[in-house]
Copies of this chain bind each other. A is one copy, B any other.
């Protein structure tokens, strides 16, 4: 099976197949004499595993761990569950941050006329000095502080 066929059979793009191999998530595929990668049916199963895990939002490093557990028939399901629950927690946090953003913005937008006049609570809200300047040493800036958490969100 060539890379294109493996891609179609697994739902993982050709680009990603090569990338996953390059970062060591996948073992180096066998090659033909001319250098073409060759995949077997078992490989496709692993690819689908990865694909499914990506669809659930697992980051690649966690997928690597899950692949290991998948192959390890003596695994404890508790270990798998830990990964799953940690990821659920990650997702929950991201969702919470996004919801806070959305709700705050919706609140501002709700009071905006949305007509030809220039006065606008949204602009006023953005211009307001809501952020008192971080004291740099102590990470104050409580739960409502999206942006501290923000950079880490990178779905």
- Report A50 CB to chain B, min CB distance, Å: 9
Q: How far apart are the CA atoms of A29 and B126 in the complex, in Å?
A: 22
Does A95 contact B99, Cβ atoms closer than 8 Å?
yes
Give the chain B neighbours of A147 by CB distance below 8 A: 51, 54-55
Does B66 contact A84, Cβ atoms closer than 8 Å?
no
Identify which of A57, A87, A125, A146 gathers the most chain B CB atoms within 10 Å of its CB.
A57
Copies of this chain per assembly: 2
Give the chain B neighbours of A115 by CB distance below 8 A: 76-78
Q: How far apart are the CA atoms of A9 and B105 in the complex, in Å?
A: 23
Closest 9 CB pairs of A and B: A77-B120, A81-B114, A11-B131, A91-B102, A57-B101, A153-B155, A84-B109, A78-B114, A55-B146
Residues on A facing B (Cβ under 8 Å): 8-11, 45, 48-49, 51-57, 66, 69-70, 72-78, 80-81, 84-85, 87-88, 91-92, 94-95, 98-99, 101-102, 104-106, 108-109, 112-120, 122-123, 125-134, 136, 145-147, 150, 153-155
A77-B112, A87-B105 given; 11 more Cβ-contact pairs under 8 Å: A8-B134, A11-B131, A48-B130, A52-B125, A55-B150, A57-B150, A66-B126, A74-B118, A76-B116, A77-B118, A84-B105
